[in-house]
Amino acid sequence: MSETPQPAEEPPAEGGRAESAPEEAKEQDPDANDPSGESDEPDKRALGQTASVINNFFAEVDAAHSVFGVGAARATRSMTGALAPAEIERTLDRFVPPSGFEETVRTLRERRVVVLVGPAESGKWTSSVALLDRVKSAREKIVILSPARALDDLATKATFRKGRGHVIHGWIAEDGPPALQRFEFDRLRARLEEADAHLVITLNRETARPGLEGYHVPWQPPDPLRLFDAHIGGPVLAEEITEVRRQAAELRSPRLVADLAREIASGRRAPADLLAELSGGEVAAWFGAGPQPADVLTVAALAFAHGVPERVFERLVADLKNTVEEVRLRGREPGTRPEDHDLPQSRAQWGNGHKLITVERSSSATAFGERRVVFRCTRYREQVIRELVDRYGYELWEPLRLWTRELAGLEDVRVPAVAGLALLAAVHPQEVRESFLEPWAGGLWPERLSASMLLSMMCADDALAPIALGTALSWVMDAGQPKAMTAALAFAGGLSIRYPADSVDWLWFLSLRALRVRTVARLSLTLLLQGAAERDGGALPALRLLARHVDEDLRGRLDPGKARDALAAVLAVLECERLETEDDPLAAWLLLSVPGSAAPLGLLWAWALRNAYHRGRAIRALRRTLRALEGKDGALAAATALGESVWSEVPDGVAALIKRAIEHAEPAYEDREASRRTRELVLAMLHAGSGRAPHR
């Protein structure tokens, strides 16, 4: 068996199934004797709030993209699974082939697999879809596989369908010497030839690796002027647009060029204003004019504390200035006055004509009228961070690191701080990992929560999502319990949106680890399903994949202790509420609202009811779910469908015992009246599939 669980062969939307968890999960956990002695427990309230924050964050990202003519699907779509024909058409709308495209089509037809190698945001994703659209069978799909899949796994275990195109975007499993990789590529090529399928991999590297010629293809972005012309939708005539077109070639990614052209074509804003905003010219000009050092600190602070109340922001700016002074005084004698330095100068008044910063009034019900400090343009925040990285060194960044780390413990500032770090990761991912993610992941509860939230926000960026996945995977095993718990938190957040199958796989694996790890994994598994239920079409694939893990592992492969742990995770799911609700069981909502959910829910309940240790808890959860159905349209059909699923999985002799226990279970005193009202549903569930009509 593989050392690690593998992601789904088929996309979750098609009911894909991952490889089972590794044997290590069913034996002694290597972290069981962790000597840390940490006593802090997961805060369920904070976890629920964090899940809502992530959902809202992704919704805001969608809205921001739609302003520049980019559909919401680009921001929130799963990065594994089948590409719908409409999404393929949207991706390739006005596609401009880069240099070498036709030659690469020929190479892909001949070798069956190619790796597009180039910097992030150089158009590799669109090109990979275009390449596969050229070589796949006309009626076949393009399926996106997990970037965590290793070459040997692809060459030996992956299932490739005849005529189908496959893509791995942002591959993170590249390792090993070139000679070994070439051997694995040759094996993979043979598998693809046998299946008559094709695979395109995108890899974020500056250069192709020597020794992998023929498979590694250096990739360049398309010609920016041709791309601009294609997306503006017609001939360029106006002198102003002609000048903007010329300057558009300076933009750093094809996406920005296409965004600019589409927005100019809409006519909503002046072309020069759009170019200045997208290119970062206004921000670069502000830094280039030599701002006062105190003003630099203010702008830097706002990048990581955007939108906080003015009174809070003032305090944070003062804290940052103090941290700057403390860093300067390192190594000096106590009481030594620091030498004059070019940073400590007067703070700019951001509410009085500052070129980058302004103040707005909050419109929220809880802080109506509160003054909040923000950038004048949303894109300024990302551009300020880029300028700070490009222009400043240790004297600014060391105090900024120390100050930002402290924000993890401040509940009212944590979200904007983490959002700023996600923008920093787009510019300098290694800085974010070494200075923030790794220390926070091994820290205390608030720091772990910040690390998981940071990975979630990184997932909103197509280029950063694979990095976030790779970071979480590095914490799953042999990294200590705190980091394993942080990984579990991360798999319930943005990773569950971009890599749903991987997230279910790894949370199931973690739910069988040592006590502290599995406690967090269970909470995260319920959060994953609660969050998926809030997104169209997300709950059923995750529920089916979980049910398949449970069914496979409980069919004699787990010892009794691990089986009990597995069923505890199952019951946590069956007992949970919908996100941020009370007395609204998720299972009841799924039965009424998500066609097909009765089958996986019934399988989960069947296993829980068959276990004598957990049977009482399973019965209580079942009766509570049936009670929640009472009075709802479709309640009787839902109860019947659930019963049919349950009893199809339970042997007849055991079923009779379980049915008696369910029928005679007495709910709490205050629930007896509700129990009488739902008796019809209980009987419908009990007699489903038996041919007997339920009676009152």
Q: What are 175's two structure tokens?
A: 């390792």
Question: Residue 83's beta-bridge partner residues?
Answer: 142
How many domains does the chain fold into? 3
Three-state SS at 675: helix
**Cα(649)–Cα(108) distance, integer angstroms:** 46
Provide the 8-state DSSP code for 408.
G
Asked whether the beta carbons of 511 and 470 are under 8 A apart, the reply is: no
Q: Domain ends where: 365, 384, 406?
A: 406
pLDDT value, residue 360: 86
Whether 35 and 178 have beta carbons less than 8 Å apart is answered as no
Instruction: Name the burial class of residue 352, with classes exposed (0-12), middle (13-18) and buried (19+) by CB atoms within 10 angstroms of its CB.
Output: exposed
Check residue 652 and give its pLDDT.
87
Distances (CA, A) of 334 to 91, 322, 329, 338, 399: 62, 16, 9, 11, 19
Lowest mean pLDDT among 191-205, 251-265, 543-557: 251-265
DSSP assignment, residue 585? B
- Over range 295-317, report the average pLDDT: 93
My answer on whether 363 and 510 are in the same domain is: no
Q: Name the residue type at position 103.
A: E
pLDDT for 30 beyond 70: no
- Which pLDDT belongs to residue 52? 65
How big, in percent rounded to 5, are the helix, strand and coil portions of the chain? 60, 5, 35
pLDDT value for 351: 55
- The answer to whether position 78 is within a domain reads no
Q: Is residue 153 part of a domain?
A: yes
Give the pLDDT band (50/70/90) at residue 428.
very high
User: Do 298 and 369 fall into the same domain?
Assistant: yes
492 in the same domain as 343: no
192 and 332, same domain (yes or no) = no
Please say if the pLDDT value at position 693 is more than 60: no
Q: Are residues 534 and 652 in the same domain?
A: yes
Cβ-in-10-Å burial (0-12, 13-18, 19+) of 346 comes to: exposed
Task: Give the pLDDT of residue 12.
Answer: 36
Q: How many whole angstroms separate alpha carbon 14 and alpha carbon 144?
A: 12
Among 462, 582, 448, smallest CA distance to 50 is for 448
- Is the Cβ–Cβ distance between 540 and 594 less than 8 Å? yes
Average pLDDT over the chain, rounded to whole?
A: 84
Least confident of 121-125, 561-565, 578-582, 616-620: 578-582
Task: Point out the domain boundary residue: 386, 406, 426.
Answer: 406
- Compute CA distances 183 → 2, 180, 186, 195, whole Å: 19, 5, 5, 19
| Region 436-460 average pLDDT | 93
| 380-390 pLDDT per residue, tens | 999 999 999 99
Residue 345's pLDDT is what? Answer: 35
Residue 654 neighbours by CB distance under 10 Å: 13
Q: How confident is the model at residue 692 (pLDDT cuts 50, 70, 90)?
A: very low
Q: What is the DSSP string of 54-93?
A: HHHHHHHHHHHHHHTT--THHHHS-SSEEEPHHHHHHHTT
In a domain, 335, yes or no: yes
Average pLDDT over residues 467-471: 96
At residue 47's C-alpha, the angle toward residues 42 and 53, to 5°, is 155
Q: Which residues have CB under 8 Å from 27's CB, separation 6+?
A: none
For CA atoms 415, 418, 423, 424, the dihedral sign is positive
Of residues 353 and 376, the one with the higher pLDDT is: 376
Question: Are residues 507 and 611 both part of a single domain?
Answer: yes
What pLDDT score was predicted for residue 361?
A: 78
Write down the pLDDT at residue 48: 66
Average pLDDT over residues 354-360: 87
Residue 260 lies in a domain: no
N- to C-terminal Cα separation, the chain: 52
Please, are residues 559 and 501 in contact by the beta-carbon 8 Å criterion?
A: no
Does residue 187 register a pLDDT over 90? yes
How far is Cα 616 from Cα 665, in angstroms, rounded to an integer? 9
Amino acid at 41: E
23 or 203: whose pLDDT is higher?
A: 203
Domain that includes residue 511, residue range: 12-43+463-472+481-687
Q: Comparing 378 with 548, which gets the higher pLDDT? A: 548
pLDDT at 137 over 70: yes
Overall average pLDDT of the 270-274 stretch: 79
Which amino acid makes up residue 349? Q
Contact 175, 474 (CB under 8 A): no
Q: What is the average pLDDT across 207-215?
A: 85
Assign 256 to helix, strand or coil.
helix
**What's residue 74's pLDDT?**
42
In degrees and rounded to multiples of 5, residue 171 shows phi and psi of -55, 130
Across the strands, what pairs with 216? 115, 213
Share of the chain above pLDDT 70, in %: 81
> When comparing pLDDT for 629 and 245, which is higher?
629
Of the residues 218, 237, 258, the one at which a domain ends: 218
* Residue at 207 is within a domain: yes
The answer as to whether 84 is a domain residue is: no
Least confident of 26-35, 103-112, 177-186: 26-35
Whichever domain contains 121, its CATH number is 3.40.50
Structure tokens given for 360: 């707005």
Q: Is residue 17 part of a domain?
A: yes
Mean pLDDT, residues 439-453 taken together: 93
If asked whether residues 203 and 296 sit together in one domain, one would say no
- Whole-angstrom CA distances from 283 to 111, 467, 526 are 46, 28, 43
Residue 111 and residue 39 in one domain:
no
pLDDT reading at 145 higher than 90: yes
Q: Is the pLDDT of residue 184 over 60?
A: yes
Which helix (H) or strand (E) is 227 found in, with range? helix 224-232
Separation CA 167–CA 145 (nearest Å): 6
Handedness of CA 43, 47, 48, 49 (dihedral sign): positive
Report the pLDDT averaged over residues 601-630.
94
Among 90-99, 179-188, 229-238, 615-624, where is mean pLDDT lowest?
A: 229-238
pLDDT, residue 237, reads 56
Closest CA to 601 of 517, 680, 685: 685
Strand 357-361 to strand 198-204: parallel, antiparallel, or no bridges (unpaired)?
Answer: unpaired
Largest CA distance in the chain: 91
CA–CA separation, 117 and 178 (whole Å): 15
Domain co-membership, 292 together with 393: yes
Identify which has the larger pLDDT, 50 or 17.
Answer: 50
Interstrand relation of 142-145 and 81-83 (parallel, antiparallel or unpaired): antiparallel
- Looking at the fold, whether 557 and 671 belong to one and the same domain comes out as yes
Question: What pLDDT does 364 receive?
Answer: 58
Q: Is the pLDDT of residue 276 over 80?
A: no
Looking at 196-270, list the stretches that DSSP marks H as alpha helix, in order from N- to C-terminal side: 224-232, 239-248, 254-266
**Measured distance CA(492)–CA(542) in Å, rounded:** 12
Answer with the residue of higher pLDDT: 430 or 241: 430
Residue 511 sits in the same domain as residue 400: no
Residue 186 binned pLDDT confidence (cut-offs 50, 70, 90)? very high
Any residues with CB less than 8 A from the CB of 234 and at least 6 apart, and which? 265
Judge whether 76 lies within some domain. Answer: no
Distance, in Å, from the CA atom of 292 to the CA atom of 344, rounded to the nearest integer, reads 8
pLDDT score at 671: 55
How many Cβ atoms sit within 10 Å of the Cβ of residue 549?
25
Instruction: Give the whole-angstrom CA distance, residue 208 versus residue 249.
Output: 25
Range 78-93 average pLDDT? 89
Residues 488, 601, single domain; the answer is yes
For the four alpha carbons of 549, 552, 554 and 558, in that order, the dihedral sign comes to negative
Residue 432: which pLDDT band, with cuts at 50, 70 and 90?
A: very high
CA–CA distance, 290 with 300 (Å, rounded to integer):
15
Burial class (CB in 10 A: 0-12, 13-18, 19+), 409: middle
